[in-house]
Amino acid sequence: GRRVRRAEAVAALPERQRALVVLRDIDGLTAEEACNVLGLSESNQRVLLHRARSRLRAELEQWMKR
């Protein structure tokens, strides 16, 4: 189902993007907290999160069209 597909899409992300998505979107950490955990600058965190969410959105949209 959808939950499995979402988990697969998250698992397929590059490591830092995956870690950031898990921390921000699943665990609910703030941007500042995620930056501290991963040792990222605020701007790098924004770029990585944007890329990860865009990739997830595209993956899931493709899956929904099938």
Contact (Cβ atoms closer than 8 angstroms) between residue 15 and residue 66: no
pLDDT band at 35 (very low <50, low <70, confident <90, very high): very high
Structure tokens at 55: 């990739």
So what's the pLDDT on residue 29?
A: 98
Alpha-carbon distance 6 to 34, whole Å? 21
What's the Rg (C-alpha) of the chain? 12
Q: Which residues contact 38 (CB under 8 A, 6 or more apart)?
A: 16, 19, 20, 23, 45
pLDDT band at 63 (very low <50, low <70, confident <90, very high): confident
So what's the pLDDT on residue 58?
A: 94
Average pLDDT of the residues in 8-28: 95
| pTM of this structure | 0.88
